Structure 1
Amino acid sequence: MDQFTLNLLVVGATFALYFGIAIWARAGSTAEFYAAGRGVHPVLNGMATGADWMSAASFISMAGLIAAVGYDNSTYLMGWTGGYVLLAMLLAPYLRKFGKFTVPEFIGDRFYSPTARMVAVICLIVASVTYVIGQMTGVGVAFSRFLEVKSSTGLYIGAAVVFFYAVLGGMKGITYTQVAQYVVLIIAYTIPAVFISLQLTGNALPPIGLFSEHTASGMPLLAKLDQVVTDLGFGSYTGAHDTMLNTFLFTMSLMIGTAGLPHVIVRFFTVPKVADARSSAGWALVFIALLYLVAPAVGAMARLNLIDNIYPNGTSEAPVSYEARPDWMKNWEVTGLLKFEDKNGDGLIQFYNDKSAAYEPTATERGWKGSELTVNNDIMVLANPEIAKLPGWVVALVAAGGLAAALSTAAGLLLAISSAISHDLIKGQLNPNISEKGELMAARVSMGVAIVVATYLGLNPPGFAAQTVALAFGLAAASIFPALMMGIFSKRINNKGAVAGMVTGLLVTIVYIFLHKGWFFVEGTNSFTDADPLLLSIKSTSFGAVGALINFIVAYVVSNATEEPPVEIQELVESIRIPRGAGQASHH
């Protein structure tokens, strides 16, 4: 059976599963649409949270980023995992105890202000829309290669699939679909990693393989990789090349951004009790760790395999000819995500760091006129099984896994956007007397509109998947996270302080990101780049942590300069924090 048919079969089977689940778990009420009727088992909720949280950025881009840069990009691993721990310890149980459906609803009630709720809706929509673009781009990348269509066509197919199960099922349909998607994505991520680890090191466990000996050379795998990349003028794979300040702030931005991401917080509203919110957070961490422990190994091994394919006899002087290039390159060239340009006309593929001044003399001596192969980071994980010549069914499985990762997160985000519009905007502000049926209809219509907008932005994306995602985290970090933290842990923060803090945090971060120097468009590449930082060594993607700090300070100063919150609000804050047994959440 040829690869295309195999891809169709495997991807088709997983889609049939998602559709079946969506029809079985149709949402009949707003409680089911927003919070799955609060009846989800903690272990299942942990799996669904894992799928919701491991997006196309985790599955497709993260190992690609680690592969491209090495140690420096392990900040993605630390930031995302650390943020998850923050969320589980500091926010999830308390928000579940509060017993509402959405994040803006909590902010509106806690800060007794419709304005605060509206500001939270705006912050949520800005962060979620930015994030969903990354997922849609990921869907396009995966579909274009494996169904051999244009990435725009792939995007339309993905949007149609999400439209079907998200609009029909709401949170209830999405939850059970995400459980299935988690199973698909974890199997798809682990199996090729095990094969490749066995090939390169003889060790079946990729995290241990990463620190084992490279079978072919007898050197430790990472030492071999360091030697190979520095031989081509790239920075060492295991060395740190960024400033400590920027590394720290970037990790912090990702951490508090993760903890402020509305689509993940909402998952904790779906369990029966507060105790279940805690245990599902623990389970989710286990399910997430299964992928995150493997990712650094996948990144390193993909980079080594890529270079071995270009320099098959192990010396950088003799690259492979374009005619004799491996099949996987031909397959990916069709998608436009891998490009070859013969700059010196010798028909060979030169691949090296042409920005390195130290390597320039060597390149000139060999008659090289610039690196000739452009590899998009986002293809590293998807191309990995093909590069390593694994069986066809593994390639098809990875296709299904990449799609599961992107679709599960896209669905969660679209639900967060549509509940913000139908529950917080329409029911909360415009039409408080709307019927349950009317609100459910509004939720479905706003979900449909959100999918159309996300598809449009996915076709014209600002920056590649993971960079767009890093910005979404910065925005959530600067606006939503501080408001939630102060709402739960401080009785003194009032409505004026909260609104001033959120607005300042969001605006300062957006301005820093878009100031000409920090984030400019690169002609002809359809992507943005981090240029010279404006402030110390802080890049635009790391600024979310600074934005959050400004938010905290402004909220604190304004609250202390104005009147205290009403007594009943102070009592409410007290009641959220002090456990009354781990029973049912109290409703106010």
Structure 2
Amino acid sequence: MTTQALIYLFVGASFALYIGIAIASRASSTSEFYVAGGHVHPVVNGMATAADWMSAASFISMAGLIAFLGYDGSVYLMGWTGGYVMLALLLAPYLRQFGQFTVPDFIGTRYYSNAARVVAVICLIFISFTYIAGQMRGVGIVFSRFLDVPVDLGVIIGMGIVFVYAVLGGMKGITYTQVAQYCVLIFAYMVPAFFISFLVTGNPVPQLGLGSQVADGSGMYVLQKLDATLTDLGFTAYTDGSKSMIDIFAITAALMIGTAGLPHVIVRFFTVPSARDARKSAGWALVFIALLYTTGSAVGAFARINFVDTVNEQSYAEAPDWFTNWEANDLIAFNDRNGDGVM
């Protein structure tokens, strides 16, 4: 069986699993459709919340940001993770305590104002459309790469699948579908991470591999190797930060507040039985997300080393297959400034 056939099989099985779960757990009441009946276990809700957050930005872009920004990329880890701490302490328990179905309902009830409710609806729509635009682009890129289809068709496929299981199951179906999604996503992320960690350092655990020596006989540690390689090529050292303290503070604060205010994340805390469970589910979400985030920083460093080792001084005509595939999807480009045909 070819690699492409295996990809089709894996993706098709995943879709069938999601739709099957949505059908099996379809909502039978308004409460189940909007808030899964309000009786989701904190661990389950934490896993579903983690799947909510492990979207295109985290799953596709985070390791890439860290790989090419180096130390400066750590601000995204701090901001996004800190947002969940803010959620757990300041928002989640109070949202659940009011027992409303949506954030605008909560705001309208809390402030006794229909005007505030309307403003919340407008903000919700604006945020949702802005966020979905980026997510759908990410979906299109993933499907275009793995299913060998145009990006536009990839977006349509992704939207169709989400529409089916969201309409069939409501929040109840989405919750248990997202638990399955988390398992699939973390498996798909961790397996390559284990392999690239072993390839670069000889240690299959990415978090430990990041602090290990590179398996090339140089005796250098991963970050030392990265710093030396990048400075030799004329780039800034990987561990050198270029952002000022005020920049780091401002970006971290913006990411924290943005994370805490995401509508599809906030609504997850309406699905647990109590305010205490809302706090617990936020804590569990952090645990499940940490598995991805601690791996992502390591993958970013390994990927940068592997990328340089693979393409540096390589003839463009002999570029690896993955390079030409990504180039075809506008994910990478080669600009031959000196005209020698060597990357």
Distance of aligned partners of 1:64 and 1:57 in 2 relative to their CA distance in 1, 3 Å threshold? same
Runs of 4+ in 1 over 4 A off after TM superposition: none
Name 1:339's counterpart in structure 2: 333
Q: Deviations over 1:10-50 (max 9, x none)?
A: 11111110010111122222211110111212111111011
Aligned mate of 1:327, from 321, 324, 333: 321
1:114 aligned residue: 114
Mapped partners of 1:223, 1:76: distance in 2: 22
> Mapping of 1:376-415 within 5 angstroms?
none
**Percent identical:** 65
Q: Match for residue 243 of structure 1?
A: 244
Partner of 2:155: 155
CA distance in 2, matches of 1:40, 1:261: 20
Q: Does 1:181 align with 2:181?
A: yes
Structure-1 separation of matches of 2:321 and 2:262 = 40
CA drift of 1:320 comes to 0.9
Query: Across the two proteins, how many residue pairs are aligned to each other?
Result: 342
TM-score relative to the length of structure 1: 0.57
Where do 1:402-551 residues align within 5 Å?
none
Residue type at the aligned position of 1:171: M
1:265: which partner in 2? 266
Counterpart CA distance in 1 for 2:52 and 2:189 is 16
Q: Bigger shift: 76-85 or 124-133?
A: 124-133
- Counterpart secondary structure, 2:148: coil
Provide the C-alpha distance between the structure 2 equivalents of 1:129 and 1:104, rounded to a whole number of angstroms. 16
Q: Which deviates more from structure 2 when the two are superposed, residues 334-343 or residues 29-38? A: 334-343
1:346 counterpart letter in structure 2? D
Q: Deviation string for 1:464-505 (max 9, x for gaps)?
A: xxxxxxxxxxxxxxxxxxxxxxxxxxxxxxxxxxxxxxxxxx
Matching of residue 233 in structure 1 with residue 234 in structure 2: yes
> What's 2:41 paired with?
41
Structure 2 gaps of 5+ residues are none
Distance 2:252 2:105 in 1: 28
Report how far residue 346 of structure 1 moved: 2.2
The aligned residue for residue 483 of structure 1 is none
Structure 1 residue 78 and structure 2 residue 78: aligned?
A: yes
Report the Cα offset of residue 141 of structure 1: 0.7
Q: Distance in 1 between matches of 2:281 and 2:69?
A: 34
Equivalent position amino acid for 2:195 in 1: F
- Whole-Å separation in 2 of the counterparts to 1:38 and 1:100: 10
> With CA pairs under 8 Å and 6+ residues apart, which has the higher RCO, 1 or 2?
2
Paired residue secondary structure (1:323): helix
Using the alignment, how far apart are the partners of 1:257 and 1:154 within structure 2? 27
Cα distance in 1 for partners of 2:125, 2:231 equals 43
Q: Distance in 2 between matches of 1:162 and 1:288?
A: 22
Distance 1:198 1:340 in 2: 28
The residue number in structure 2 matching 1:15 is 15
For residue 257 of structure 1, report the CA deviation from its aligned partner.
1.4
The offset of 1:341, in angstroms, is 4.1
Amino acid at match of 1:236: A
Deviation track 1:439-475 (CA, whole Å, cap 9, x = no partner) reads: xxxxxxxxxxxxxxxxxxxxxxxxxxxxxxxxxxxxx
Which residue is 2:287 aligned to? Answer: 286
**Structure 1: how far apart are the matches of 2:26 and 2:257?**
33
Distance 1:191 1:197 in 2: 10
CA distance in structure 2 between the aligned counterparts of 1:347 and 1:128, rounded to whole angstroms:
44
Per-residue CA distance 1:356-378 (angstroms, 9 max, x = gap):
xxxxxxxxxxxxxxxxxxxxxxx
Using the TM superposition, give the Cα deviation of residue 87 of structure 1 relative to its aligned residue in structure 2, in angstroms. 0.3
Determine the C-alpha separation between the residues in 1 that align with 2:15 and 2:67.
Answer: 30
Following TM superposition, by how much is the alpha carbon of 1:180 offset from its aligned partner in structure 2, in angstroms? 0.2
Give the TM-score of the pair, scaled to structure 2: 0.97
> Matches of 1:74 and 1:343 in 2, distance apart?
31
Aligned equivalents of 1:81, 1:15: Cα separation in 2? 29
SS of structure 1 residue aligned to 2:234: coil
Q: Which residue is 2:57 aligned to?
A: 57
Shift of residue 277 of structure 1?
1.6
Q: Give the number of the structure whose residues are more often helix, by fraction.
A: 2
* One-letter amino acid matched to 2:94: Y
Structure 2: distance between partners of 1:243 and 1:274? 38
Give the Cα–Cα distance (whole angstroms) in 1 for the partners of residues 284 and 193 of structure 2.
23
